Amino acid sequence: MAAAAAAAPGALGTLQAGRARLVAACCARLGPGWRLSGSWTVPRVDPAIWARGWTHAAGGAAWRRGYSSEVKTEDELRVRYLEEENRGIVVLGINRAYAKNSLSTNLIKMLSKAVDALKSDKKVRTIIVRSEVPGIFCAGADLKERVKMNSSEVGPFVSKIRAVINEIANLPVPTIAAIDGLALGGGLELALACDIRVAASSAKMGLVETKLAIIPGGGGTQRLPRAIGMSLAKELIFSARVLDGQAAKAVGLISHVLEQNQEGDAAYRKALDLAREFLPQGPVAMRVAKLAINQGMEVDLITGLAIEEACYAQTIPTKDRLEGLLAFKEKRTPRYKGE
């Protein structure tokens, strides 16, 4: 009994030290050098981390409906910064009509390049992932390309898909998947990596890999259970079942379901409405809120609360926090700068 009592404090200390390491590792992603009050030691945000940006190409063809300009034109992926009242919203548009937007080697490279630029761009506030091909979101991996690969090439290619989808999941700003059509296999895994999913009622979604005697390889076996629960996720993966928008909403796979419109972009329009709701909020707060939620969901509650405390501390020294208080006092709309 005495030995057990003596061991308990040591075990508690080990647990607390482990939690401290988790919190420090989590918050290190935001920048070096700051210390949280109390026993938790974590890095302090470097203002330069929020100031980093990249200069995009000027000009470009005007987008349909005339509310954005194209900043980067590619055959299979279009990256657009929206303008005017939508400034701060970036749209990633997949455009492989001839291959049902399937994930090819080239498309994966382009997605990786685009995400790498966006993740350090201070001007980006919300990212929407959509299709520019009517009736299709993404049909999964490019099987015509896959069939030409030998066995030694398949594993590395799937690893690249998984890595890019992880990069999307780790983007520091809110991400929304607008599913206006078919989202199968890797296409649904791409959507699962986004913070929020909206879909048209006519959309079709499923992890269908077991039909091909393989399993989801882009994070589906991990993100689907986290989204809808383990038992139901197993049922859907084991059966390779495909759900429409209404069924997907019923199981919690998507947040909103819309009747499709004549233009075929009902989900995109809803995603744009949501992104507009996010725009007025403090940019630093949005980033650390996402980090706190994502990291907190992977640990126990006590560690999660410590992560929240560390993330909250990131907002205290910001100019935006002072601006929010001043705007409240003066009864006006705050003008946040992400500082």
The pLDDT tens digits for 17-44 are 555 666 665 555 555 444 443 433 333 3
- Residue 186 is a catalytic residue: yes
Q: Answer whether residue 92 shows pLDDT above 70.
A: yes
Q: What percent of the chain stands above pLDDT 70?
A: 78
**Catalytic residue flag (residue 141):** yes
At residue 101, what are phi and psi to the nearest 5 degrees?
60, 25
Residue 312's pLDDT band, with cuts at 50, 70 and 90, is very high
- Comparing CA positions, the residue from 174, 175, 166, 96 lying closest to residue 138 is 96
The yes-or-no verdict on residue 287 having pLDDT over 50 is: yes
What are the tokens at 245?
């928008």
109 C-beta neighbours (distance < 10 Å), count = 14
Higher pLDDT, 48 or 170: 170
Instruction: Provide CB contacts within 8 A for 265, sequence distance 6+.
Output: 130, 178, 180
Alpha carbon 191 to its chain centroid, in Å, reads 8
Q: Which of 280, 286, 275 is nearest to 334 (CA)?
A: 280
Rounded Cα gap, residues 158 and 59, in angstroms: 35
Q: Tell me whether residue 209 is one of the annotated catalytic residues.
A: yes
Distance, in Å, from the CA atom of 93 to the CA atom of 80, rounded to the nearest integer, reads: 8
Catalytic residue among 88, 93, 181, 186: 186
114, 141, 266, 313: which is the annotated catalytic residue?
141
Indicate whether 53 pLDDT > 70.
Answer: no
Which one is predicted more confidently, 90 or 31?
Answer: 90
Structure-token pair, residue 282: 């403090």
Per-residue pLDDT at 147? 81
pLDDT for res 13: 55
pLDDT (tens digit per residue) in 142-199? 888 888 888 888 888 899 999 999 999 999 999 999 999 999 999 999 999 999 999 9
Is there a catalytic annotation at residue 8? Answer: no
